[in-house]
Amino acid sequence: MRGAVSRPIVLGASVTLAAAGISTVALAQDDSTDGSGITTIASGLANPRGFDWAPDGTLYVAQAGWGGDNEVRLVEGFSVDNGLTASVATVTDGCATPMAIGLPSTHWVDAGWTWGAMDVTFHDGVPYVLISGAGPSWFSPTSTSGVFRINDDGTMTSIADISSWLPDNPPAEIPFDYGQDGSLFDLEAAGDSLLLSEAVGGQLLRVSLDGEITSVADLSVGHLVPTGIAVDEEGNAYVGHETAAPYTEGGAPVLKVTPNGEVSDHLTGLTVTTDVEFGPDGALYASEMATGCSGETAEMPADSGRIVRRTGPDSFEAVVTDLPYPVYIGFDVDGQLHISGPAFGPDAGVGHGWIVSVDPTQGPISFAGFEPEMTNC
């Protein structure tokens, strides 16, 4: 998500996707270079989500896990299972070593999407993790969704209990698939506090380091489903949106939100945006989980995701194409673009997740035909 360059589904409409029955269709590939410019950073991950680098350069990654043995069938053809399979891991020489384990995880069986440890970020050298998929509305009543500090011994200290705060602070426009524990997606360091996106409800929240929670902006109107956040030097937040199904090509904007909550368009024309991040060149980069969507169904064409770079208010250029449902992005100290995936699907889950890197100046690079190297850990 973010990285040395300070800043970066949901299946924000998880219920919508599952109920509709996600399917995939093949798309023709565009004119991109082959996958020879892609490097495997880590593989064999369990639904990798957001990531960040410690001050010493160690890569931390949030893994949403794979749910668990507690299965709840809500309606015919729609069920969830949950457990304590999420974690935060460190990555060294391609090997992921869990350092905070036993975290809540909820898997939407029919959609293939999993909530759990959604993001990790550092603030003044201290790691924080965003947990979602926990609390009564997620059929996990003994746990809560929120922001936690990761202690040196791998234990967790609750900083902000979002599950307890949201019932008294609902969004202005409550969508049909909203749960009172929220669907927390992204966590970003911002000045002396943290920013997070509540996707399905559509809120941008600020959390102080002593746990005070405030709403920065209500983005619920139209069910745009806010996802990734990038923060500039003036404290403005740039928020990507997935939108709800059915997905409309070009219908997912990046909005600029000032510290006092003023909202305006920053980039339009994107589709199913999952993350945004400022690159070392100062440009805004965005991850589109899929493109080529019809706008009539919940279908997301397979291997159609891409990473783009903003060139104007309504223009962008491709950096990486043909990605299988990319989720989060970030830049390391050397300016290399890192990408986590896949977001969901038959290959998501135990052992199928990866983080790869590319040189963003060498694009567009095609992921087509690339197979992440399996690390021998």
CATH of residue 84's domain is: 2.120.10.30
| CA dihedral of residues 65, 70, 73, 77 (deg, nearest 10) | 40
- Higher pLDDT: 109 or 216? It is 216
C-alpha angle 36/40/46, rounded to 5°?
A: 140
pLDDT band at 177 (very low <50, low <70, confident <90, very high): confident
d(CA 287, CA 275): 5
Q: Count other C-beta atoms under 10 Å from residue 362's C-beta.
A: 12
What's the maximum distance between 2 C-alpha atoms anywhere in the chain?
Answer: 51
Helix (H) or strand (E) holding 329, with range, is strand 329-331
Per-residue model confidence as pLDDT tens digits over 365-375? 999 999 998 87
DSSP letters, 25-44, are ------S-B-GGG-EEEEEE
pLDDT at 340 over 80: yes
* Residue 164 φ then ψ, to 5°: -80, -30
Q: Which is it for the CA torsion 363, 366, 370, 374, positive or negative? A: positive
pLDDT at 23: 33
Q: Are 266 and 255 in contact (CB under 8 A)?
A: yes
**Structural domain includes residue 374:** no
- Rounded to an integer, the average pLDDT of 303-311 is 96
**Structural domain includes residue 375:** no
Domain hosting 30: range is 14-366
**Mean pLDDT rounded to a whole number for the chain:** 87
Q: Which is it for the CA torsion 289, 260, 215, 224, positive or negative? A: negative
**Structural domain includes residue 376:** no
- 340 Cβ contact list (under 8 Å, min separation 6): 45, 48, 49, 50, 51, 61, 326, 327, 328, 329, 353, 354, 355
Our count of domains for the chain comes to: 1
Helix (H) or strand (E) holding 263, with range, is strand 263-270
pLDDT band at 80 (very low <50, low <70, confident <90, very high): confident
The type of residue at 335 is G
Q: Are 261 and 48 in contact (CB under 8 A)?
A: no
**Structural domain includes residue 2:** no
- Rg for the chain, CA atoms, rounded: 18
d(CA 101, CA 66): 13
- Rounded to an integer, the average pLDDT of 334-354 is 81
- Higher pLDDT: 255 or 297? It is 255
pLDDT at 13: 32
pLDDT band at 219 (very low <50, low <70, confident <90, very high): very high
pLDDT band at 135 (very low <50, low <70, confident <90, very high): very high
**Structural domain includes residue 373:** no
pLDDT band at 306 (very low <50, low <70, confident <90, very high): very high
The type of residue at 275 is D
**Structural domain includes residue 190:** yes
**What's this model's pTM, rounded to 2 decimal places?**
0.90
**Structural domain includes residue 77:** yes
pLDDT at 244: 82
pLDDT at 203 over 50: yes
pLDDT band at 5 (very low <50, low <70, confident <90, very high): very low
Q: Which of 35-44, 95-104, 220-229, 321-330 has the lowest mean pLDDT?
A: 35-44
The type of residue at 242 is E
pLDDT at 159: 97
pLDDT at 110: 77
Question: What distances in angstroms separate CA 217 from CA 55, 203, 374, one per listed residue?
Answer: 30, 6, 42
Q: In the structure, how many helices (H) and strands (E) does the chain have?
A: 2, 27
Per-residue model confidence as pLDDT tens digits over 20-34? 333 333 323 333 444
**Structural domain includes residue 8:** no
- Rounded to an integer, the average pLDDT of 273-290 is 97
Q: Which of 87-91, 92-96, 120-124, 329-333 has the lowest mean pLDDT?
A: 92-96
Q: Which of 46-55, 61-70, 106-115 has the lowest mean pLDDT?
A: 106-115
User: Which alpha helices (DSSP H) does the chain contain, by range?
Assistant: 14-20, 162-165
pLDDT band at 350 (very low <50, low <70, confident <90, very high): low
Whether a cis peptide bond, with omega within 30° of 0, leads into 324 is no
